[in-house]
Amino acid sequence: MTKTDNNQFPTKNKSWLQRLKDESWEAELLVSAVAIFAILKSFFALDWLVIQFIDYLDPNQYIFGYYITVSGYLAVGILAAMFAIHFVLRAYWIGLVGLNSVFPDYGLEDSAYSPIYTKKILSILPKLSNSIRKIDELCSVIFSAAFGLMLIYLYIAATSSLYLICFNLLKDTLPLWVLLVPLIVAGSLIIFGMIISIPANIKKFHGNQTIQHLYFLYARWGALILYGPFQKSILQITMVFGSNFKKKKGLIKMVIFMLFIGFVFGMVKMFDSNFRYLLNHERELDTSKKHSFFYQSLNSKNSFLLAPEIKSDVVDSPILEIFVPIFEHERVLLENHCGLPKTSFFSKLDEEVQKKRRIANLNCYQNSHRLFIDNKPQAIDFIKSEHINTQQFGILGHIDLTGISTGNHTIKVKKVFKDSEFKEWSIPFYHIKE
């Protein structure tokens, strides 16, 4: 029979495992480098996702888009921080291993410093072999934790986005309560898990068969719903951490600290996006403040317009050009409000019907947008257009300012969906009369 070590692994298998561990750092470095690059690029994908949520989602569903994108920024930030820290530590570990192969330990007799100074410094420094072992352990733990987190977020983000798409495609076909069933099941499961996990992890109830069995059922079937095909991989990683918590508290605390660093990094990147609009789109803007997003000259790098835009805050021309973006979900609202017949994406219309449809759309947009200068209604003819920078769909109009005096003025834009539902913006500008 093959000899075993502590009755766990055969000697042959253990040597194979040890050899794999000794050589895994090369793969770890490669994966970390690729992961860091891909994860940093993921922030651009999240910025794009925020824009798609704003553009296509009904405002009543913005809260779901908000939670998806916020969790995405935090998860990607944590992943980026953990992989970056892993890469740096593993590179440092390689340096220590190389140094250890040349100098097995600190020297005293051959030291360039005095014996007294050398002894005092060595008394506060860890052994080289200990540092190599601890950094190796930390790198392995970080890598596993980051991988587990990546699986969790990928599945949750994918299923949440898929649910939103299906909800909007089927909301006119199925009853609302049917569409809400998956959300209610997932929410109830999370609440039940939070409730049962409190007593289940208190030492007093560790021997309680009923509570522990309920906790097991939640973990078993809850993981299947919340993590999908990744359930066993995620449970394996979390159980390795949880079941060795008392043995390696220092390592796990370090991982928690790195999670905090990643959390902060994700929040910094998140505040560079338009995610706040998903939460406060109904909030009135401060009219005593000049907002840069109203002016193309101050807003040239913006990739998505959330409000109407004029050329500049200083207008020295008798003609003022204004672009009003129309979101995709607003197009549906406006067309329903105007009573336009619905058309399928696959339906074929003859050329004459298409012309009438386009004119009806433009008339609908024309009648649903009202402009005022200093609270005086302005007659304006709009034309459908795409913004020169963001390529957004909207309407473009020109206002005659020949009767407007030199000085500060305000153009007000009202977007009317129904008699009592509209959006409103006030755009200050300074007019220089020729």
Q: How far apart are CA 239 and CA 197, in angstroms?
A: 14
For the segment 276-292, the average pLDDT, to the nearest whole number, is 81
For the segment 181-196, the average pLDDT, to the nearest whole number, is 84
Length of the chain, in residues: 434
**Pair 241, 41: CB distance under 8 Å:** no
Q: Where in the chain is the domain with CATH 2.60.40?
A: 285-342+349-431
pLDDT at residue number 268: 84
For the segment 93-110, the average pLDDT, to the nearest whole number, is 76
Percent of the chain surpassing pLDDT 90: 7
| Res. 250 pLDDT band, cuts 50 70 90 | low
**pLDDT surpasses 70 at 316:** yes
Which residue type, as a one-letter code, is found at position 190?
I
Q: How far apart are CA 334 and CA 356, in angstroms?
A: 17
Q: Which residue has the higher pLDDT, 419 or 314?
A: 314
pLDDT at residue number 343: 61
Q: How far apart are CA 153 and CA 345, in angstroms?
A: 33
Q: How far apart are CA 180 and CA 188, in angstroms?
A: 12
Q: Which stretch of 72-81, 111-120, 346-355 has the lowest confidence by average pLDDT? A: 346-355
pLDDT at residue number 324: 93
Q: Which residue has the higher pLDDT, 25 or 362?
A: 362
3-class SS string, the chain: CCCEECCCEEHHHHHHHHHHHHHHHHHHHHHHHHHHHHHHHHHHHHHHHHHHHHHHCCHHHHHHHHHHHHHHHHHHHHHHHHHHHHHHHHHHHHHHHHHHHHCCCCCCCCCCCCHHHHHHHHHHCCCHHHHHHHHHHHHHHHHHHHHHHHHHHHHHHHHHHHHHHHHHHHCCCCCHHHHHHHHHHHHHHHHHHHHHHHHHCCHHHCCCHHHHHHHHHHHHHHHHHHHHHHHHHHHHHHHHHHHCCCCCHHHHHHHHHHHHHHHHHHHHHHCCCCCCHHHHCCCCCCCCCCCHHHEHHHCCCCCCCCCCEECCCEECCCEEEEEEECCHHHHHHHHHHCCCCCCCCCCCCCHHHHHHHHHHHHHHHHHCEEEEECCEEECCCEEEEECCCCCCEEEEEEEECCCCCCEEEEEEEEEEEECCEEEEEEEEEEECCC
Q: CA nearest 227: which of 197, 281, 190, 180?
A: 190
Residue 141 token pair: 């733990």
Into which CATH architecture does domain 285-342+349-431 fall? Sandwich (2.60)
Q: How far apart are CA 420 and CA 195, in angstroms?
A: 43
Q: How far apart are CA 142 and CA 25, in angstroms?
A: 13
**pLDDT surpasses 60 at 405:** yes
Q: CA nearest 164: which of 24, 49, 86?
A: 49
| Res. 171 pLDDT band, cuts 50 70 90 | confident
Supply the mean pLDDT for the chain. 80
**Pair 381, 366: CB distance under 8 Å:** yes
- Which of 99-113, 250-264, 335-349, 388-402 has the largest mean confidence? 388-402
For the segment 267-278, the average pLDDT, to the nearest whole number, is 84
| Res. 396 pLDDT band, cuts 50 70 90 | very high
pLDDT at residue number 96: 82
Q: Look-up: residue for tokens 């309920």?
A: 214
- Which of 77-91, 197-211, 313-327 has the largest mean confidence? 313-327
For the segment 416-432, the average pLDDT, to the nearest whole number, is 80
pLDDT at residue number 215: 85
- φ, ψ at 117 (rounded to 5°): -65, -40
| Res. 395 pLDDT band, cuts 50 70 90 | very high
Q: How far apart are CA 65 and CA 57, in angstroms?
A: 8
